[in-house]
């Protein structure tokens, strides 16, 4: 799976949207794109840009049971109201028993990462998606992986990304 990353410093919202749509059409046109929505601004904006670019997208909200209750409603209900076409994937029954009683925060974090990435991988395979859309903003990438913008290229293979991660693993900051 190729990784196409839009790296930009645009301060003008309209220019950012236009460049993002052009980028998406160049790299994702005629492909099926998996997009996980968390309910946050980053993933929601990513999904809206994909829609605006008319990209074939499979939007997913993964409910692991630890989401917020907002004004008496589960977060997934709010997401479904905003994006009626979203696919809700409920992993609460398989995920929550694994972390119940686990006192070590690092182990819980790893269990969450494993469940989340495993679910995403399964869906990508089931839906035969070509690309994965990730709305993670650069400061979060830098914080989580210790990677600077100069280390990133617009297009990288998964192997190149894994090599980059391996080279920087000592600088990895636990999120």
Closest to 17 in 3D by CA, of 27, 6, 33 = 6
Residue 157 has pLDDT above 90, yes or no: no
Closest to 154 in 3D by CA, of 51, 42, 27 = 27
What is the average pLDDT across 90-119? 86
Domain spans of the chain?
Answer: 8-135, 137-169
Residue 126 has pLDDT above 60, yes or no: yes
Residue 41 phi/psi, 5-degree rounding, is -65, -45
User: Band of the pLDDT at 171, cuts 50, 70, 90?
Assistant: very low
Is the CB of residue 172 less than 8 Å from the CB of residue 147?
Answer: no
> 8-135: which CATH topology?
Rossmann fold (3.40.50)
Residue 108 has pLDDT above 80, yes or no: yes
Q: For residue range 22-80, list pLDDT tens digits in order.
A: 989 998 999 999 999 888 888 899 999 999 999 999 999 998 877 777 788 888 888 89
């Amino acid at each position: 799976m190729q990784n196409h990353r839009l790296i930009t410093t645009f301060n003008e919202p309209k220019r950012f949207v236009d460049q993002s749509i052009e980028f998406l059409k160049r790299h994702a046109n005629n492909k099926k794109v998996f997009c996980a929505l968390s309910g946050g601004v980053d993933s929601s904006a990513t999904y809206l840009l994909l829609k605006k670019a008319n990209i074939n997208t499979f939007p997913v909200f993964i409910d692991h049971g630890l989401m917020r209750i907002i004004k008496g409603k589960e977060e997934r209900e709010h997401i479904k109201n905003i994006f009626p076409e979203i696919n809700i994937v409920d992993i609460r029954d398989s995920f929550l028993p694994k972390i119940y009683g686990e006192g070590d925060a690092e182990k819980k974090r790893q269990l969450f990462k494993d469940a989340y990435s495993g679910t995403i991988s399964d869906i990508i395979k089931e839906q035969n998606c070509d690309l994965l859309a990730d709305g993670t903003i650069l400061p979060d990438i830098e914080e989580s992986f210790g990677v600077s913008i100069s280390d990133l290229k617009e297009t990288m293979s998964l192997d190149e990304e894994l090599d980059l991660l391996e080279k920087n693993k000592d600088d990895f900051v636990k999120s």
